Amino acid sequence: MPTRKLKKQVVIAIAFDEAFNFYYKQNLQNLQSMGVEIKKFSPIKDESIPLADAIYIGGGFPELFLDQLQKNFDLRNQIKRLLKKVYQYLPNAVV
């Protein structure tokens, strides 16, 4: 299916590690074919989110990594600050 290029450069930071790794490959390929730059980050290991226009947190098993995720205070606080400023699309609730 043909895709249209975006008029401006868009960067999406994608959570990708042991806790979050369920993404449809075709969705990511479609984003890239539109010209979206994808920057991956680890909610478990990274201290901050890459500079981006949007954050994409996919599915996975975060409940298996709660201890590591809870201890990553800097990243958690950064996400909390961003959620107060930006549009959110949630297919399910964030607890």
Confidence of residue 7 (pLDDT cuts 50, 70, 90): confident
Amino acid 2: pLDDT: 56
Give yes or no for a contact between 69 and 41, defined as CB atoms under 8 angstroms apart.
no
β-strand pairing of 11-15 with 20-22: unpaired
User: Tokens in use for 47?
Assistant: 């201290």
pLDDT in tens, 48-93: 999 998 899 999 999 999 999 999 999 999 988 888 887 666 666 5
User: Tokens in use for 39?
Assistant: 């920057």
Indicate the domain borders of the chain.
Answer: 11-83
Strand order in the sheet with 54-57: 37-41, 11-15, 54-57
* More confident position, 1 or 50: 50
83/88 Cα distance (integer angstroms)? 7
